Amino acid sequence: MGNQEALQLASEDELREIRISAQAFLLLLSFSQSIYYIYADVYARGMDSAKYKAPGKILWIGGYSVLERPNTSMVSAVNAYVTAEAKKRDEMEISLNAPQLSSQTTGRFDAEGRLSINVPKELILLKTAVEVASRYAVAIGHKISGVSVTTHNDNAFSYTITGGRIVKSGLGSSAAVTVAAVGAILRLYSIEENKNDAIHKLAQIAHSIATGKVGSGFDIAAAAHGSILYTRYSPEIVKGLPNDYSNGQLADLVKTDWDYIIEKFHMPKEFSLLVANFAGESMATTHGIGSVSIFKSKDPDGYADIMRRINEENNRAISALRKINSGNQHAMEEFKDAFNKGRLLTKELGVISNVEIEPDVCTELIERSEKHGAYVAKLPGAGGKDSIAALCRSEKDLNELRKFWSSENGLEILDVDFA
Question: Across the chain, which distance is largest between two alpha carbons, in Å?
Answer: 111
Task: Write the pLDDT tens digit of every residue in 224-264.
Answer: 999 999 999 999 999 999 999 999 999 999 999 999 999 99
Decide if domain 49-264 falls under CATH 3.10.270.10.
no
The answer to whether 281 and 386 are in contact (CB under 8 A) is yes
Sign, CA torsion 285/287/290/291 = negative
Is the preceding peptide bond at 380 cis, omega within 30 degrees of 0? no
Task: Report how far residue 376's alpha carbon sits from residue 19's, in angstroms, rounded to the nearest whole number.
Answer: 74
- Residues present in the chain in total: 419
Task: Report how far residue 185's alpha carbon sits from residue 224's, in angstroms, rounded to the nearest whole number.
Answer: 14
Domain spans in the chain, listed from the N-terminal domain onward? 49-264, 272-413
- Going from the C-alpha of 5 to that of each of 9, 13, 356, the distances in angstroms are 6, 12, 101
In the chain, which residues have pLDDT < 50?
Answer: 6-7, 9-10, 31-45
The answer to whether 110 and 116 are in contact (CB under 8 A) is yes
Decide if domain 272-413 falls under CATH 3.30.70.890.
yes
The answer to whether 48 and 87 are in contact (CB under 8 A) is yes
Q: Where are the alpha helices (DSSP H) in 118-172?
A: 124-139
Q: Residue 167's beta-bridge partner residues?
A: 159
The answer to whether 156 and 389 are in contact (CB under 8 A) is no
Task: Report how far residue 399's alpha carbon sits from residue 372's, in angstroms, rounded to the nearest whole number.
Answer: 9
